[in-house]
Amino acid sequence: MTDTPLAVLREHLLQALENHPGIETRRLFHGRGRCWPGLEQITVDWLSGIVLVMLFREPSPALRPLLMELLETPQWQASGARALLLQHRYVHGSESEWLAGEPQAQWPIIEDSLHYLLDLGSKQNSGLFLDMRLGRQWVREQAAGKRVLNLFAYTCGFSIAAIAGGAAHVVNLDMARAALSRGRENHRLNGHDLSRVEFLGHELFKSWGKVRKSGPYDLVIIDPPSFQKGSFALTQDYAKILRRLPELLTEHGIVLACVNDPDIGPDFLIEGMAAEAPQLRFVERLDNPPEFPDISPESGLKALVFQQG
């Protein structure tokens, strides 16, 4: 990272802070999309008042002085930022550094008027993936009166959106029970009726019976990790899910199938669905948020809609 890219980053952040989204959580800078040479390994998020800088490779020594200098700018002062957090993602298990402000182990944020509680400082993944903002928005718009299955639910962001959109019932499945507990907290933060939400802390491929029991579903959401040791490998296991979809869905049920591996394009899902569940036709690929520009559409988040019948 040279001085010239850092100057680009400085100007971008000054402008973003000057036009910051208020209480709404948004990405401020997305270097991972490779649109700014020399800044590919840095992202910056606005977390409803906390600025989170994530580094995916050891940075230039000049980066820290730049960040500290930003603290003194009028844009920073006017933004209402409460703290500055630096995360070294290239160091496995490393804790984040609070460069300014009071450390916060947990922090409430707002996205599209919905509330989520994030873990900051000790965990690399805070609890909500911001690139899926329009996916959650789409689910909220589609959910009224529907029974929804949310696979690989994590902290239940899709479930929050679905219940906010009037879903009749949502089943969340994830093998990480701690993440589901946070999902339950997130529903409570939004004042949701928990009798309409189920939380299944199970490994998917051993739990088809439990999943079917609450079906059939009008909407199934599949948003898996690329790799989860001992339980899921995207290129090997996604097909196993696709071939079970027809038995889980209502007659005209809808699927939102997602992939966030930059090396895997949308054809992986389109061709996989045609092979494993030809009853489901491809409808559309959802847009990604404009704050996540990518030099290649194939590399960004893939969120594809399919429908049965």
What pLDDT sits at residue 234? Answer: 87
Query: Domain boundary residue among 75, 91, 117?
Result: 117
In terms of domains, do 21 and 143 share one? Answer: no
7 located within any domain = yes
Q: SS3 string of 105-148?
A: CEEEEEECCEEEEEECCCCCCCCCCHHHHHHHHHHHHHCCCCEE
123 located within any domain = no
- Look up the CATH number of the domain holding residue 182: 3.40.50.150
Q: What is the pLDDT of residues 52-90, one digit of tens each?
A: 999 999 998 999 999 999 999 999 988 989 999 999 998
138 located within any domain = yes
What is the arithmetic mean of pLDDT over 146-161? 97
Sequence length of the chain is 309
Biggest CA–CA distance in the chain, Å, is 59
pLDDT surpassing 60 at residue 272: yes
In terms of domains, do 183 and 108 share one? Answer: no
∠ CA 179-181-184, rounded to 5°: 115
pLDDT surpassing 80 at residue 124: no
* Residue of 253, 240, 271, 256 whose CA lies nearest to 308: 253
Residues 209/197/182/80 CA torsion (nearest 10 deg) = 140
Q: What is the extent of the structural domain holding 288? A: 128-306
Structure tokens at 120: 């900051």
Pairing of strands 50-55, 97-100: unpaired
What is the arithmetic mean of pLDDT over 17-24? 83
122 located within any domain = no
What pLDDT sits at residue 231? Answer: 64
89 located within any domain = yes
68 located within any domain = yes
Q: Can you tell me the distance from the alpha carbon of 15 to that of 75, in angstroms, rounded to the nearest whole number?
A: 8
Query: Domain boundary residue among 89, 117, 145?
Result: 117
Distance from first CA to last CA of the chain, Å, rounded?
51
- Look up the CATH number of the domain holding residue 93: 3.30.750.80
pLDDT surpassing 90 at residue 188: yes
In terms of domains, do 212 and 101 share one? Answer: no
Q: Can you tell me the distance from the alpha carbon of 217 to that of 135, in angstroms, rounded to the nearest whole number?
A: 18
pLDDT surpassing 60 at residue 158: yes
What pLDDT sits at residue 85? Answer: 95
Highest mean pLDDT (candidates 90-99, 103-112, 121-130)? 103-112
Q: Write down the pTM of the prediction.
A: 0.94
